[in-house]
Every structure is written in C-alpha cells, then in structure tokens.
C-alpha cells in the first residue's frame, strides 16, 4: 500500500487536513474530503434515521448527495430493507 497520497501528503495525515479545513475554514466536511480526493463513508448509522423517516433509496441518495446505486449496494451489503419506490 502506498504511504503517501498523490499530493505527497502522508496517508495518516489526510484526515487531519480535512478536519483542519472544516474547523478553521469555511468548508463543510464533504467538500473538505472531496478536495483531498476522498469520499465520506456511508454506514448504517447514517442510513437508519432516513429509513425510519420512510424515505426510498432514491430519496436517501438525494438527501446524502450520492448515487442511488451506491445506496442500493450499501443497503444490500448491510442487509437493510428500505421502502420500495413507485413502480411505473
């Protein structure tokens, strides 16, 4: 595994750089990670409140600003059931 990022920053420092951008800059967490070429990890703790609100996978994807296929794959991997969307 490579020990530095493409920008030459040690991999164990990237999260600290993102945190610094959020704390000391006017940047939200998602954008700070994006600048560093990283993505926010989506887990069951993030999905469960949205599922409890009765949102479909499409609506969850829109809320989290990710693709519907990513939400579908995560739900499948974690064994999470969501509300079925409307069939056409």
Per residue in 28-85, pLDDT (tens digit) is 777 777 776 777 788 888 899 999 999 999 999 999 888 899 899 999 998 888 777 6
pLDDT of residue 9: 61
pLDDT of residue 73: 92
- The band of 11, judged by pLDDT with boundaries at 50, 70 and 90, is low
Can you give the length of the chain in residues? 88
Cβ-based neighbours of 79, under 8 Å, separated by 6 or more: none
Report domain extents, the chain: 1-40, 44-78
Per residue in 17-35, pLDDT (tens digit) is 767 777 777 777 777 777 7
d(CA 2, CA 8): 10
d(CA 15, CA 38): 9
């Amino acid at each position: 595994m490579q020990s530095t990022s493409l920008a030459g920053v040690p991999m164990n420092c990237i999260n600290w750089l993102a945190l610094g951008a959020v704390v000391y800059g006017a940047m939200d967490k998602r954008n700070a990670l994006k600048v560093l070429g990283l993505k926010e990890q989506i887990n069951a703790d993030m999905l469960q409140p949205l599922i409890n609100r009765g949102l479909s996978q499409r609506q969850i994807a829109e809320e989290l600003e990710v693709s519907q296929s990513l939400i579908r794959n995560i739900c499948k991997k974690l064994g999470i059931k969501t509300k079925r969307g409307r069939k056409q």
